[in-house]
Structure 1
């Protein structure tokens, strides 16, 4: 299923069957540098295809670099220059291909000459690509990227009882009379394609997506990404209109399925959700309340009622649509991240200790995205331990580390900032807590700080502590279960004492239970705790749960380094919720899982954790349902042995 695949990708689990289907097959993608096409090229390379892609200008790095950086591009991606309106321009690209994806098409939402800017390039471009395909018998199938613009614009009323499907066609004359120029161009281009395919015996399939949303691969932001990230002035009246949203990753996946499934034919409407723009804006507001988005509609007109678009035929392609909430979040993260990258790291060198860990892996990923050069340490430099890091980007240094007073000297030398995340974690009983937990946490922290004190270039140290170092000061410690909080408390106390004595600019992050998608190949304890809910447990703890998304924690670390006024401690807790609420969310997203129905004995409710200081870092906490839905509950994770619930509950 498409959504499951992308959840797996986010969690670092790559299904092998997706990698092998295109081995030794050659395909063509027109308009390869575009929004949909870039994702299509990425997934085709991932499946083993050799891809010949066309771009308008081979010398423009904005059109080529993001493609050449894709995994497999060096061996199996070939770029060509082609002109949509020039007949024969696509011949050398199509030659030798088994299939062609015609994605290239002009997109102008406003134009003074719609015939020259939109209609002629769309129609002539489609004809030219199909003529080239007709010349080469190796081409077995052509997949055309059309649009819902060529489906739903025919003057028929779109009332709540209406279900739009593949039998609907937009009316060219209706579009022209209403000056719907983009709709007119897509309608005429698709009509032309079907006519040519019928006359020339071409196996043609069309993909008709709605309004495409989701993360970008290319460096330039499209209109929608600029809008949802607050970088483009919204017309508030748009929020009264209805949009047919679909995630760009679903669209790219559907293209490949339309090629690989022999029985695929005709048209496929791709719409994950039909809703008002205001709902998408609301989601964006909830995720990022500081973005300059409209608070209300420009007029008092009643919003039109929502109709439906059939998903039945799209289901035959194996589609499981990515939720709009996930699409909006990913769009904004990429759009705003693109802006930050240009002004954030800019080649600055930082160190992350314990780089292969859960929080640290996401921290490394976000630092690299912002342009930092990252030096990271780990106890064992095995390929399996740091492979997920080396795949992020090439400009970081991975060092093996042995605990000692000078062990961190080489790692922090030359750095401007140090993120000390490395720390032992064990929530289970231990025979020797002093050796297993307290000494490594305490001595490790002091060793890092001593190394930092020797390097004048280091302007700030960000320490990953824990909410456990905040909430246990007044409660008697139980020797069976509280060694981890004690270790974190002593380590943080030692850090503040050292920082004061040595004038170290120290900022401390105190996250609660951290959950969310994994980058590393090994399972961490906090995600394992969630997995044990779905791993055959008969009951669940009637406990409360302080939690936060791992990506929010990583982002907070970077903000604490970059914001000059950041200081002191930052308690990071997004939600205080119950295990029953966690189960409810999992059940809604994974209805086939066997989940416990009964709870154990009652427990106390912990106090709320203030978010006020964390907000000064610009943190917008990820909703709990989005965090949980990106944890892939597959057989690999569900095979984990049971967790010690009794020992965990007092830590929550």
Structure 2
């Protein structure tokens, strides 16, 4: 449950973009907890997806809000005390490539600036990725575990065309710089690979998967846990900075084969050494786990 001093019924929050797996489930869970929610969509034709999920019609308002249209962001944030922001690629540019970083940075800057200009905003929960943490030239020689104190090396990512890491790192760094400059209270969730039903090998997080596996840093997160983490860091007044978020690590042959079967079920047969090899975990989410000890979904 929320801390005793946290009155959920007095909070109106915005979820942007609400059309993806995380956004839609955040809207559902927030409504269930008693929040009033502003759900934003890039494609307003998708608003039917929210039909019937609010117990009272006044609890949910749906907005068309383009992250590249500053005024539409301001309209959606009006009257809100918090924002849950997750980037969904534009409908006309769905794939991560060398140009996506500029797109995602521009969107993040628009959103944070709009929050700075909205007097009612008290906290922003910014969804980033573990790919903004794990990629660096010296990652194999580092002694301590990787955690939210580490940042991906963008030049390393550019060298190996790890565009998801480039985009997430640049967007998050840009958001942090602007938030600190404008006095916006922001926390970020650096999520592992989301284990959604429609996950495929084409997901941009999967580029470099073999190397992440070999390094002991290939982490995944289930949707309910990811939603809980977002709400927990919003409601807990002590939350700060970045939070690496995952609840499983792919570090055995067993794990790798199961994931491969999920991604390409028709092309794999069981291996003779199934389950025998093990790679030491070299990534830690202790900070988030400590915060979530008393959280009740």
Q: Give the TM-score normalised by the residue count of structure 2.
A: 0.81
CA contact under 8 A between 1:285 and 1:293: conserved in structure 2? Answer: no
CA contact under 8 A between 2:253 and 2:278: conserved in structure 1? Answer: no
1:166 aligns with 2:148: yes
CA contact under 8 A between 1:26 and 1:99: conserved in structure 2? Answer: yes
Q: Which runs of 5+ in 1 are unaligned?
A: 1-14, 216-220, 228-234, 298-302, 322-652
Question: Structure 1 residues 135 and 154 mapped into 2: Cα distance closer, same or farther (>3 Å)?
Answer: same
Question: In structure 2, what is the equivalent of residue 41 of structure 1?
Answer: 27
Question: In structure 2, what is the equivalent of residue 77 of structure 1?
Answer: 60
Match 2:41 to one of 46, 50, 55: 55
Distance 2:192 2:8 in 1: 27
Question: In structure 1, what is the equivalent of residue 232 of structure 2?
Answer: 257
Matched position secondary structure for 2:8 = coil
Question: In structure 2, what is the equivalent of residue 24 of structure 1?
Answer: 10
Q: Which runs of 5+ in 2 are unaligned?
A: 272-276
Shift of 1:296: 5.9
Matched position secondary structure for 2:219 = strand
CA contact under 8 A between 1:159 and 1:306: conserved in structure 2? Answer: no
CA contact under 8 A between 2:125 and 2:230: conserved in structure 1? Answer: yes
RMSD, aligned CA? 3.5
Match 1:311 to one of 267, 285, 288: 285
Question: In structure 2, what is the equivalent of residue 135 of structure 1?
Answer: 117
Distance 1:182 1:214 in 2: 17
CA contact under 8 A between 2:252 and 2:278: conserved in structure 1? Answer: no
| Segment of structure 1 superposing worse, 98-107 or 189-198 | 98-107
TM-superposition CA deviations, 1:568-622 (whole Å, max 9, x none): xxxxxxxxxxxxxxxxxxxxxxxxxxxxxxxxxxxxxxxxxxxxxxxxxxxxxxx
CA contact under 8 A between 1:240 and 1:277: conserved in structure 2? Answer: no
Q: After superposition, where does 1:345-356 map in structure 2 within 5 Å?
A: none
Question: Structure 1 residues 180 and 261 mapped into 2: Cα distance closer, same or farther (>3 Å)?
Answer: same
Question: Structure 1 residues 101 and 285 mapped into 2: Cα distance closer, same or farther (>3 Å)?
Answer: closer
Shift of 1:68: 2.7
Distance 2:117 2:260 in 1: 52
Match 2:73 to one of 86, 90, 106: 90
Matched position secondary structure for 1:142 = strand
Distance 2:24 2:138 in 1: 34
Match 1:176 to one of 130, 150, 158: 158
Question: In structure 2, what is the equivalent of residue 244 of structure 1?
Answer: 219
TM-superposition CA deviations, 1:136-177 (whole Å, max 9, x none): 111011110011111111222247964111110112222112
Distance 2:210 2:156 in 1: 24
Shift of 1:214: 4.6
Distance 1:74 1:292 in 2: 45
Question: Structure 1 residues 169 and 259 mapped into 2: Cα distance closer, same or farther (>3 Å)?
Answer: same
CA contact under 8 A between 1:244 and 1:272: conserved in structure 2? Answer: yes
Question: Structure 1 residues 70 and 280 mapped into 2: Cα distance closer, same or farther (>3 Å)?
Answer: farther
CA contact under 8 A between 2:3 and 2:236: conserved in structure 1? Answer: no
Shift of 1:190: 0.7
Question: Structure 1 residues 294 and 198 mapped into 2: Cα distance closer, same or farther (>3 Å)?
Answer: same
Max radius of gyration: which structure?
1
Shift of 1:306: 3.7
CA contact under 8 A between 1:240 and 1:278: conserved in structure 2? Answer: no
| Segment of structure 1 superposing worse, 169-178 or 197-206 | 169-178
Distance 2:210 2:57 in 1: 43
Match 1:191 to one of 144, 157, 173: 173
Question: In structure 2, what is the equivalent of residue 106 of structure 1?
Answer: 89
Q: Kindly tell me the number of residue pairs found equivalent between the two proteins.
A: 279
Distance 1:150 1:73 in 2: 39
Distance 2:55 2:164 in 1: 35
CA contact under 8 A between 1:33 and 1:67: conserved in structure 2? Answer: no
Matched position secondary structure for 1:295 = coil
Q: After superposition, where does 1:460-475 map in structure 2 within 5 Å?
A: none
Question: Structure 1 residues 132 and 208 mapped into 2: Cα distance closer, same or farther (>3 Å)?
Answer: same
Question: Structure 1 residues 172 and 319 mapped into 2: Cα distance closer, same or farther (>3 Å)?
Answer: farther
Structure with bigger RCO (C-alpha 8 Å, 6+ apart): 2
